[in-house]
Amino acid sequence: MGIINGLEAWHGGSRADGKVGVVNVMGFTARQEQGGCCSGRREGNGNLRYSGLGHGNGGMSMDVEIRGIKKAYFRKKVLTDISFSMEAGSCAAILGSNGSGKSTLLSILAGVRKADGGSFFYRGTDLFRCPGQIPKALGYVPQGDPLMEELNAWDNLRMWYDRETLKRELSEGALKLLGIDDFLKTPVRRMSGGMKKRLSIGCAVVSHPGILLLDEPSAALDPVCKENICMYLDAYRKEGGIVLMATHDAQDLELCDACYILRNGTLHSWEYGGDFHKLAEAL
Ligand code: ADP
């Protein structure tokens, strides 16, 4: 297990208070049974070591195997056959024109919408058949930031984190890496887009998921905020996490090992190569 800037970002765990908790996968909530999936211990050097739902691939060829996802809204077929795979530590982008079905696909993978068919295997478990596993397996950051506008960052986080875990994550974990400790007392209504996005990601990773789904994470953000989020995603990925995002942002695309264009309900593999004219033509 790797160490990021002297910190160990940990994913795939459970709440530290040992209770049955509510896990936020942004956009919906689900009950999470505690125990069994992650145990942590502090080492002599102060770093946190976790075992359990680590990011090794457990002998499987691919950690994520998605096959034949279909979705229609009434008679309108939006997704006809979505199939792809991802391995631990990889990052993929889904591109496509407005209305091509990117948000529909991500929300289906997050368990917010139901697919009409297909499977989503994560380390051998079909999450569509075992939706109770979804909160432990993935974090979802939808396009609109689902935060409580009247609350500050600390209070939003407290809806998902117990006090001790929150303090630890802010001082040496994922929340520190996201820079959330800089604006804990700021109410959401006074936050910039970048602060809201970082806070939304912070809430989404409460269960230390192995997969992070992000819908346009960089839309309308300034370059500094984008850089901060990209650095976090890169660290998450280097730690073995799997990142899947809908994006058209050049900085995001640079993080990605694979790009797919969603067109006519299916994914087409595509090589970015740094040329935005090529992207417009491909869409
Ligand atoms: P994208 O994220 O690529 O812009 P969406 O997944 O939001 O695309 O939408 C894909 C298509 O599905 C669009 O034509 C949209 O109008 C339609 N759509 C999305 N959500 C619904 C819904 N709840 N009911 C009916 N049609 C929908």
78 lines ligand 1 (CB under 6 A): yes
**Percentage of residues of the chain with pLDDT beyond 90:** 65
Residue type, 30: A
| Pocket perturbation via mutation, ligand 1, pick of 70, 71, 73, 140 by most ligand atoms within 8 A of CB | 73
75 lines ligand 1 (CB under 6 A): no
Q: What angle do CA 80, 83, 88 make, to 5 degrees?
A: 150
Least confident of 55-59, 92-96, 234-238, 248-252: 55-59
Rounded to the nearest integer, the mean pLDDT of the chain is: 80
Instruction: List, in order, residues 6 or more apart from 20 with CB less than 8 Å away.
Output: 31, 32, 33, 34
User: Higher model confidence: residue 45 or residue 227?
Assistant: 227
Predicted local distance difference test score (pLDDT) of residue 12: 32
User: Higher model confidence: residue 59 or residue 30?
Assistant: 59
User: Higher model confidence: residue 227 or residue 129?
Assistant: 129
CA-proximal residue: ligand 1, atom 21 (nearest): 73
| Pocket perturbation via mutation, ligand 1, pick of 79, 102, 104 by most ligand atoms within 8 A of CB | 104
**What is the C-alpha to C-alpha distance for residues 27 and 120, in angstroms, rounded to an integer?**
19
Predicted local distance difference test score (pLDDT) of residue 24: 31
Predicted local distance difference test score (pLDDT) of residue 17: 31
**The two structure tokens encoding residue 255:** 């993080």
**Percentage of residues of the chain with pLDDT beyond 70:** 78
Q: How far is the CA of 72 from the centre of ligand 1 (A)?
A: 9
No. of helices (H) and no. of strands (E), the chain: 9, 14
103 lines ligand 1 (CB under 6 A): yes
Q: How far is the CA of 30 from the centre of ligand 1 (A)?
A: 24
**The two structure tokens encoding residue 10:** 């940990």
**The two structure tokens encoding residue 20:** 């049955």
How far is CA 237 from each of CA 99, 103, 145, 182, 244, rounded to the nearest angstrom?
A: 28, 22, 22, 24, 10
Interval 265-280 mean pLDDT: 84
Q: How far is CA 236 from the centre of its chain?
A: 9
pLDDT band at 272 (very low <50, low <70, confident <90, very high): confident
CA-proximal residue: ligand 1, atom 14 (nearest): 99
CA-proximal residue: ligand 1, atom 16 (nearest): 99
Give residue-wise pLDDT tens across range 193-210.
999 999 999 999 999 999
pLDDT band at 61 (very low <50, low <70, confident <90, very high): low
pLDDT band at 7 (very low <50, low <70, confident <90, very high): very low
HSE-CB for 15 with a 13 A CA cutoff = 22
* C-beta neighbour count of 182 within 10 angstroms: 11
CA 215 to ligand 1: nearest atom: 2
Q: How far is the CA of 246 from the centre of ligand 1 (A)?
A: 14
Q: How far is the CA of 115 from the centre of ligand 1 (A)?
A: 13
User: Higher model confidence: residue 211 or residue 13?
Assistant: 211
Q: What angle do CA 175, 179, 181 make, to 5 degrees?
A: 75
98 lines ligand 1 (CB under 6 A): yes
Q: What angle do CA 56, 216, 10 make, to 5 degrees?
A: 30
- Phi then psi for residue 228, to 5 deg, are -60, -45
CA-proximal residue: ligand 1, atom 24 (nearest): 73
Least confident of 33-37, 90-94, 155-159, 272-276: 33-37
- Phi then psi for residue 4, to 5 deg, are -105, 120
Interval 273-278 mean pLDDT: 76
Q: How far is the CA of 104 from the centre of ligand 1 (A)?
A: 6
Q: How far is the CA of 103 from the centre of ligand 1 (A)?
A: 7
